[in-house]
Amino acid sequence: MAAIILAAIFLYNIMISNSLNDNMKQGLPICIGGKPAHAFPHFGPFAQRHMNDYGLRNHLCPSVIMKKRQNANLIGAAVIAKKAAGKL
């Protein structure tokens, strides 16, 4: 579990630096998926406070795909296939 938490903190640091550099829109939810989503209860509140300290008003949340226990890769492949077929 410690490795997952460390990975989540690493990804969080990348997310903060990228969002500051890219002028991310305020108020958009940031959905966390995959292994970091499993560690979300452990780092989520800290990350949210840290984001607020940096002036980012976005909120972190576990991905809806994770909540429904669906496969994000499969959903992504389906979206790409629909776009390629011109149905999306």
pLDDT digits (tens, 9 = 90+) for 65-74: 877 888 888 8
Neighbours of 36 (CB within 10 A): 23
More confident residue, 3 or 62: 62
More confident residue, 84 or 11: 84
Instruction: List the Cα angle 53/51/16 in 5-degree steps.
Output: 125
* Max CA pair span of the chain: 44
Look at residue 2 in the predicted model and tell me its pLDDT.
Answer: 67
Domain annotation covers residue 80 = no
Full residue range of the structural domain in which residue 15 is found: 2-62
Reply yes or no on whether the pLDDT at 20 is more than 80.
no
Domain annotation covers residue 87 = no
pLDDT digits (tens, 9 = 90+) for 25-56: 778 888 887 777 778 888 788 888 877 887 77
Domain annotation covers residue 51 = yes
